[in-house]
Structure 1
Amino acid sequence: MKNVLVINAHEEFEFSKGGLNRTMTDIAVEHLQQSGYETQVTTMKDDWAIDAEIEKHIWADAVVLQSPVNWMGVPWSFKKYMDLVYTYGGDGRLYTGDGRTRQDPSKQYGSGGTLNGKKYMISLTFNAPRESFGDPNQVFFEGKTADDLFWPMHLTFRFMAMEPLPTFVAYDVMKNPDIEADLAKYREHLAEVFPKQA
């Protein structure tokens, strides 16, 4: 991997100005550049253009999605980004339809991606505490993990034939934050997932 697109999916609200996701985006870019990677950044506050964003995905060897968890998913502005960029990328640049053909019934749904060999990493900030995940005794998530919750996002990248890198999660960032510890763990995660270029 050499080229990395970093997407900050945060949508600003009065109670959540986006400082943590902005900081984590900056930390990712700083680490990547200091480790020998080329970077491009898109934020939902940018005046982005559909074709330019498609080209960024083609350019990138990996995409880092930095996102808060809003109502168990990504913010609405990033959903709009996906609906536009990823839909129009279905002209063969990001995928060629859903992969099935009438000529070859063995082709399965979701096999039309054209970004083979490219990776993606999801980094999330949650209000939910760590202990609410992966424990079947926790009623709300019923033992599911953060990756289980974000399965639709994983499938979105898989639809384009991208492969996952380990997910990072900062938990309990609003009610019981330990931001310095979270940022230290994030730096360690980035160093493992994106080691220095030889």
Structure 2
Amino acid sequence: MINAHEPEFGSYSPGKLNQSLFEIAASQFLSRGFEIKQTWTARAWDVETEVNNHLWCDYLIVQSPVNWMSFPWSFKKYIDQIYTTPGHGKLWLGTGRSRQAPEKNYGTKGGLTGKKYMFSLTFDAPLGAFTDPNEYLMQGRSVDDLFFPMHVNYRYLAMTQLPTFSMHDVIVNPNIDADFARFKDHINQHID
């Protein structure tokens, strides 16, 4: 489990909501007999330990607020430092291309086949910003469309995507209790 909240935003985003979701997920997993390991990307972590955690896990859960339409910078730093050089030969085994066909099979040599990942995201944006094609910003594009580049990173590692969970309108018009119940159902439905 990775908590990608970045505390530098102070009182605007103190991280209580994402920490609560992180704790709900941990409780759900522990009550079902799962063993868990947890990382907070804004805290100190060890590169080799994190590589080994990825090799160890069956499921990777990334809990994160959405800041400027993406993950916070500390999670991007984590990805760069874990998945690049230290991850080569473990998390990914090459690009998949060959000299005979350099334009084919890019991204097909991931090392985490059989492992699954799920994003759990919190947004200030209301759900309608994504579902209504007449809305200015997203024009009907989905949360997964917005996070497509990050999904590609995990596909590059050969992980299988589980349905993304997202909470919306968490600042202006929150519905926290219902969203927490929906999150528990989502976990139970998609993680066996």
- TM-score range normalised by the length of the shorter chain: over 0.9
Q: Equivalent residue for 1:118?
A: 115
Instruction: Tell me whether 1:162 sits opposite 2:159 in the alignment.
Output: yes
Give unpaired runs (5+ residues) of structure 1: 1-5
Task: Report the Cα offset of residue 106 of structure 1.
Answer: 7.7
Query: Bigger shift: 126-135 or 95-104?
Result: 95-104
Q: Equivalent residue for 2:2?
A: 7
Q: Equivalent residue for 1:78?
A: 75
Q: Could you give the per-residue CA deviations for residues 18-73 of structure 1, whole angstroms, max 9, x where no partner exists?
A: 00000100110110010111110001233101111000000001100101000000
With the length of structure 1 as denominator, give the TM-score of the two structures. Answer: 0.92
SS at match of 2:107: coil
Task: Report the Cα offset of residue 184 of structure 1.
Answer: 1.0
Q: Could you give the per-residue CA deviations for residues 65-106 of structure 1, whole angstroms, max 9, x where no partner exists?
A: 101000000000000000100112442100022211215558
Instruction: Tell me whether 1:129 sits opposite 2:117 in the alignment.
Output: no
Give unpaired runs (5+ residues) of structure 2: none
8 Å contact from structure 2 (residues 55, 112) kept in 1: yes
The runs of at least 4 consecutive aligned structure 1 residues that moved more than 3 Å come to 103-107
Q: Equivalent residue for 2:17?
A: 20
Q: 2:171 aligns with which of 169, 174, 177?
A: 174
Q: Equivalent residue for 1:138?
A: 135
Instruction: Tell me whether 1:87 sits opposite 2:84 in the alignment.
Output: yes
8 Å contact from structure 2 (residues 63, 120) kept in 1: yes
SS at match of 1:71: coil
Q: Could you give the per-residue CA deviations for residues 118-177 of structure 1, whole angstroms, max 9, x where no partner exists?
A: 100110000000111122111210110001000011101000000011110000001111
Query: Bigger shift: 37-46 or 124-133?
Result: 37-46
With the length of structure 2 as denominator, give the TM-score of the two structures. Answer: 0.95
Give the Cα separation in 2 of the matches to 1:151 and 1:32: 27
Give the Cα separation in 2 of the matches to 1:104 and 1:52: 35
Q: CA RMSD in A?
A: 1.3
The AA in structure 1 aligned to 2:3 is: N
Q: 1:36 aligns with which of 33, 38, 45?
A: 33
Matched positions, count: 190
Q: Percent identity?
A: 47
